[in-house]
Structure 1
């Protein structure tokens, strides 16, 4: 089982094109751990903003009466992919992994597969 720091390092170290990763509590909007980003990309701001995305989708699903679970949310920009993976089980309720990928270097299918594996090994 991996802790937060190890999981975030694994995201950046093993997922091709990954430039930033965070573990975020969407009940509070706080990042519990961050890695990557930089002066041109404030990962704390991105984590808080994506909390609103997750909340809006959950609220919409509730209004629609969808009895489903979100696996992940993908936002595609011209040069980046933003992948939000909601955590399940082992105390992960209310948390998501947030991954930023360089669209020119990333393989989105592989990134989703690897993020799913990292999430399964994460111990909260």
Structure 2
């Protein structure tokens, strides 16, 4: 099992997690993914790369400095967390985590996502 697959398994162990992926921002390709969120995780990863790219473009357009840490999308039954990786080794990647809104503790899940994301390496 690759190191990225180990990270996916660790993310899926977060209470309420139903899907996780490590995604390349520029291509939208999931480098590793797992879980069963009830939809095609690879399609969602590609779509969310558009979200990240759009935010990066907007930040550039309005001359907003800094780096994106995370983006949260709240749906009726799910939370979608996007954690942008900003180290030299992982620049250009993000972690995508899908949580069941009924069973996840959002604060704890975000904390664990940040902890795991800091250790992602290629």
Common topology (TM > 0.5): yes
Q: Can you give the 5+ residue segments of structure 1 that lack an aligned partner in the other structure?
A: none
Structure 1 runs (4+) deviating above 3 angstroms are: none
Structure scoring higher RCO (CA < 8 A, sep ≥ 6) equals 1
**CA RMSD, Structure 1 to Structure 2 (Å):** 1.3
- What do residues 65-94 of structure 1 show as CA deviations (whole Å, max 9, x unaligned)? 110111100000000000000012141111
Counterpart residue number, 1:65:
63
Count of paired positions: 121
Structure 2: how far apart are the matches of 1:37 and 1:43? 8
Kindly indicate whether the alpha-carbon contact (under 8 Å) linking 2:25 and 2:93 is maintained by their aligned counterparts in 1.
Answer: yes
Q: Which residue of structure 1 lines up, in the alignment, with residue 91 of structure 2?
A: 93
TM-score (norm 2): 0.94
Q: Partner residue of 2:3? A: 3
2:82 equivalent in structure 1: 84
- 1:117 counterpart residue number: 115
Q: Distance in 1 between matches of 2:82 and 2:113?
A: 10
